[in-house]
Structure 1
Amino acid sequence: MLCMVPVQEMPQVARVTIHDVARRAGVAPSSVSRVLNKHPNVSAQLRQAVEEAVRELDYRPDAGARSLRAGKTNLVGFLAGSVVNPILATIYMSCEQVLRAQGYSMLLATSLNDPHLDVTYLRLISRRRVDGLIVSSAVARVDLAADIVADLSVPTVMLDRDMPAGERISAVMSDHATGMRQAVQHLVSLGHRRIALINGLATVRPFRERQLGYQSGLQAAGLGPDPTLISNVAVAESLGYVQTQLLLDMPNPPTAIIAGANLLLLGILKFIQERRLVIGRDIAIVGCDDLDIARLYSPPITVVARDLSMLGETAAHLLIQTIESGRGSTVTLPTYLIVRGSSTVAGLGHT
């Protein structure tokens, strides 16, 4: 029969301390410390007595306490809006692999895209005396988190977010504007003239840069941006759906739609399916980031892509560099267009 012991009745195992080792060896705690720290001026007799006591008591030094005394914890805080987001999940995993190989452990906090939780978690992480931070803050009011990051004075890498002022603050950015400009030029070359953009809020850097690239691509083609074809909304599938409906119900609807985020793309695809339009024939679609939904949809979706694993690896290396040098820097990584079946045919109109 299996017996469950109530938690409050479970015996508490006392941690073996350096004082226990000293008593067993018959020496002072300071002598134990000298042996454990491999001090050169220690007699063979003392070293043998301490090492035997350590083995007998199965003593394990408190790595956390030792690192604090050394002024280093080998902990890195990672603040993300949501790791359910496959983009951030990929970045986090590649980042963690690099840091683990360098002897760091990561503390992950997810704010569920709540900017106030961003601030709360940043403060909590800083109390753990982390050696550094990697921050991808919530999709709104990034200034709140930026102010906290600047005040903490902890070596920090911002992931594709506007940088607060600070000597030890670095950033890894993506060149969203170039990839978006390529997408617009691609659509224009296929005969599209009414190209819509359903985008996130322009207060967040990636969406702002994508919109600038979109406008630049239109201007390079001699097409003035039409405000009725541009939507800035919170990133949600339902809003992508609603904005697509509004666009396609216009008297002169767009023949191509660019989605500034994957959740918006899902809403766009859902409405187009319900309207029984054929992507690549009745309307062209372009997304951002090369995730499974883009590769597996039929036809596959043309996307403005970036190397998410490289982004995470770069953030990790840049943080280590910032910790060691005490100086921040910025690295910008490229985006590029992957052309697929969703945009290979010029818009012929839809019913």
Structure 2
Amino acid sequence: MQQQKLATIEDVAAIAGVSIATVSRAINEPTKVADATRRRVNEAVAKTGYTTNAMARSLRMRRSNMILILAPDVGDPNFSNILVGLETEASKRGYGVLIGNTQNDPERETDYLRFINSNQADGLILFTGHLPYGVGAGDGSGTRLPPMVAVNEPVTNSAVPYVGVDNFEGARIAAEHLISQGHRRIAFIGHSTTKAVNGLREQGYRAALAGAGLHIDPRLILDGDGTTESGRAATEQMFVRDVLPTAFLCVNDATALGVIISLNARKYDLPREFSVMGFDDISFASFVTPSLTTMKQPRLKIGEEAMDLLLALLAGETPARTEVLLRSELIVRNSVSRAARE
């Protein structure tokens, strides 16, 4: 039986009625080709089976056209919409994505890096806030260092490019909104010495209070790890101390939910007796009682910008910016009202 001849790029060009260079652009840089032309090329590729050959050539070039995403928790409400942006931008440029749910486990994180070692992934998107365990600097001490971009949580003390929301500015705007409603004793729930995002949001809170000439009471700044339980526990701690604010600025919406749960359990009338402000605008924010006033992250845009930056690095380009900070948007709902007392 005669072996079928493998299709070539010339075959695709002939069927599509375009040049070889146009076929190459349509496959490798589809956004630079007109829609009608790209469709003709894709139809010719499907008809000839040329995709198989293109994949084999990619392997010979030690490129996979896949991006590995490392996330500590894919159940994080912020993750899914950012992922949509990442996938959308990757797909436009002929890339796919692999998702590694690390669960903050160093062994799982190291295990996922096999995709880098075996050339099954070309670059990394990091949601973890740190360099992957097992990544070396190309000195033979570990996995080679691939192009990487951090998302949501910057990698401190590193040169890893970062894309996220302007946490300082967003928290400053949130605190200023509370101040504009007459609040003078504003608690901050989410102090952390390890999480960069928490630190930036606390700095924004402090800047807003200082700008308004308000005293920053350290007793109103409580630790929080971003979970609902940490918000509930911090609120209970304030009642034990008998040091109460009129408003709570929470490091994220999950923390704000914990605050609301604690205050509702004590039968307080919200927001008349206490105002609560979140950050992120995750899916449940509009469904809690009272509905949550918060700062909305442009999650889709964050994903698109992060993937665009990573693919520029993979192409050997020098990005114009290695830190992309996007603005958050104040979303006014029902959990904040005028201060009734001081």
Compute the TM-score of the two structures, normalised by the length of structure 1. 0.76
Task: Please tell me whether residue 302 in structure 1 is matched to residue 280 in structure 2.
Answer: no
Change (3 A) 1:259 1:179: same
Count matched residues.
296
Task: Please tell me whether residue 93 in structure 1 is matched to residue 84 in structure 2.
Answer: yes
1:1-351 correspondence to structure 2 within 5 Å: 24-25=2-3, 36=8, 38=10, 61=52, 64-112=55-103, 114=104, 116-117=106-107, 119-121=109-111, 123-129=113-119, 130-137=121-128, 142-143=129-130, 145=132, 148=135, 152-160=144-152, 161-162=154-155, 165-166=158-159, 169-199=160-190, 201-328=192-319, 329-348=322-341
In 2, Cα distance between equivalents of 1:180 and 1:224 = 17
Q: Is the 8 A contact 1:146 1:163 kept in 2?
A: no
Q: CA deviation at 1:156?
A: 1.2
Secondary structure at the aligned position of 1:289 is classed as coil
Change (3 A) 1:75 1:260: same
Deviation readout 1:110-130 (Å, 9 max, x if unpaired): 112x15246414522312422
| Farther-moved stretch of structure 1 (171-180 vs 119-128) | 119-128
Identical-pair percentage:
27
Deviation readout 1:223-279 (Å, 9 max, x if unpaired): 232221112232322221111111134333111111112322221121111011122
Q: Is the 8 A contact 2:281 2:294 kept in 1?
A: yes
Change (3 A) 1:117 1:335: farther
Q: Is the 8 A contact 1:286 1:301 kept in 2?
A: yes
Compute the TM-score of the two structures, normalised by the length of structure 2. 0.78
Change (3 A) 1:149 1:309: farther
Q: Give the gaps of 5 or more residues in structure 2.
A: 12-48, 139-143
In 1, Cα distance between equivalents of 2:279 and 2:186 = 15
Q: CA deviation at 1:222?
A: 1.3
In 2, Cα distance between equivalents of 1:215 and 1:60 = 56
Q: Is the 8 A contact 1:262 1:289 kept in 2?
A: yes
One-letter identity of the residue aligned with 2:2: R
Which has the greater radius of gyration?
Answer: 1
Q: Give the gaps of 5 or more residues in structure 1.
A: 1-22, 27-31, 40-57
RMSD: 2.7
